[in-house]
Amino acid sequence: MGEQLLFDLRIITKLQLRLQYPYLVFVKMEDWKQKFALPTRFKQQKLVRWEECPPSHISTHHVDLWRGCPDYLHSPEFVTALKEVVKSGDVALHQYTKGVGHPRLVSVLAKIYSNLLKRCIDPFDNILVCMDIYGAMTNTILSHITNGDEVIIVQPSSDFYEYIVGVAGGVTKFVPLRLKENVTTPSSGDWVLEDLELEKMFTSKTKLIILSSPNCHVGKVYTLKELETISRLCKMWNVVCVSDESEEFLVYQPQRFIRIASLPEMWERTITIGSFDTTFFLKGWKIAWAYGPSNLIGNLQTVHLNSIMTCPTQSQEAIALIFEKKLENLGINAVLFGDIAKSLLPKMQLMFDILSKVGLNPIQSDSGVYIITNTSNLDQSIDYSKYKDFVGWLAENVHIQAVPLQMFYKDGTCFKHFVRFCFNRKEDTLTLARDLLEKKFKLKTK
């Protein structure tokens, strides 16, 4: 009776409105929903697997070896600097700063990269401060890609790259890093690009090639020969290389990290992305930067200034303060932040030993905060009937969260046995993970 009364009241109200305002048009709810549906260019994006599992501070029943965010404060000096900036009496630090980058920050970045690349880098013409790597990559793609342009993406990589290329109207083509076969004790250097496969990707429509160097997912550091091959193809086909070098300071000795922009004739055709929050594990700060030739960076700046406009002033000031102190104490050199990688080595070794002991066949990393394992040795002994994959089984039965490597490949079927673990955790967290694994696999802790 109540529902019928509400219906009748709605009819009366509509009739009254028609009489009073004859020019009104009444639309069916279905038509309204269709008119305001998500635009087609965004519908290609689906819920990513990151949202399927809560982070460790929400789920207290799991050990989070899933995300790259550490569970400890890795760089407290930046937090101290930020506190000082926030309490500063300088009113300007609480207002907008220069849109392309806070003057103090871009000035110190220009000093660092001028030395590393052995060329004069202008702080305002060659650098843009962005909202995280996502912001830098969005600015890069939207400012260079239009309908029909092709973008080559070296995988494993974030599916976000493909998404933004699609929004811009471009076409994505994927080339994978593959693990060499018949390698007794593989390392991350054994993830390689096949030259012929890469060459076939380039056409007259190719505009960008995107690579993560070092590759953060598998810890690969590209060799000079590999970078020279990419460089040769970029010059041959007039293509710009977008090099995500957010883990440039997380390379383990004796590996040598080479910036592709430093190779002959590559500065003019390279957009390089660096990241504060990835290097110093302060993910919530969301500060990254892109640098390169003024004509390319100018395109990024146009998109940035007409969308994001500017990044937080206080965090940029705090970052600049610490960078200046490091330059003053150490001098400008290529191992400016080398202490970070050194501090991670014991954690990587501990995680490597833990995974080896339970038969997960870890692959030694040359950079970054992740270790890839091959689960094929254990797959036959695990009943997957109730689970999507090893990662699902691990979360349910061992209470450890990890990531399937195949989610970073467009066609990940041939990588279904590979799982990614993050070792950038407190020792207590890694020890707990070891105890859970050894208990499940009935091993005794030494």
pLDDT, tens digit, for every residue of 280-339? Answer: 999 999 999 999 999 999 999 999 999 999 999 999 999 999 999 888 876 555 456 878
**Could you tell me if 408 and 212 are in contact, meaning their C-beta atoms sit under 8 angstroms apart?**
no
| Tokens 């509400």 found at | 6
pLDDT at position 25, please? Answer: 62
- According to DSSP, residue 38 is labeled P
Q: How many CB atoms lie within 10 A of CB 437?
A: 20
**Those residues with Cβ within 8 angstroms of residue 22's Cβ, 6 or more apart along the chain or in another chain:** none
Whether the per-residue pLDDT at 26 is higher than 70: the answer is no
pLDDT at position 17, please? Answer: 61
pLDDT at position 56, please? Answer: 43
pLDDT digits (tens, 9 = 90+) for 37-95: 888 877 665 545 455 554 444 455 689 998 888 999 988 999 999 999 999 889 999 99
Q: What is the pTM of this model?
A: 0.89
The CA angle 243-248-252, to the nearest 5 degrees, is: 135
Taking CA atoms, 245 is separated from 89, 98, 197, 260, 344, in Å, by 36, 24, 23, 10, 18
pLDDT at position 265, please? Answer: 97
pLDDT digits (tens, 9 = 90+) for 203-244: 999 999 999 999 999 999 999 999 999 999 999 999 999 999
Name the E strands within 156-296: 171-176, 178-179, 191-192, 206-212, 240-244, 270-275, 287-291
How does strand 240-244 pair with strand 270-275? Answer: parallel
**Could you tell me if 260 and 226 are in contact, meaning their C-beta atoms sit under 8 angstroms apart?**
no
Grouping H, G, I as helix, E, B as strand and the rest as coil, residue 221 is: coil
Burial 36-50 (b: 16+ CB within 10 A, else e): eeeeeeeeeeeeeee
Taking CA atoms, 397 is separated from 121, 352, 374, 378, in Å, by 53, 21, 18, 14
User: Can you give the C-alpha Rg of the chain in angstroms?
Assistant: 25
Question: Edge to edge, what strands does the sheet with 370-374 contain?
Answer: 362-363, 370-374, 418-422, 403-404
- According to DSSP, residue 95 is labeled S
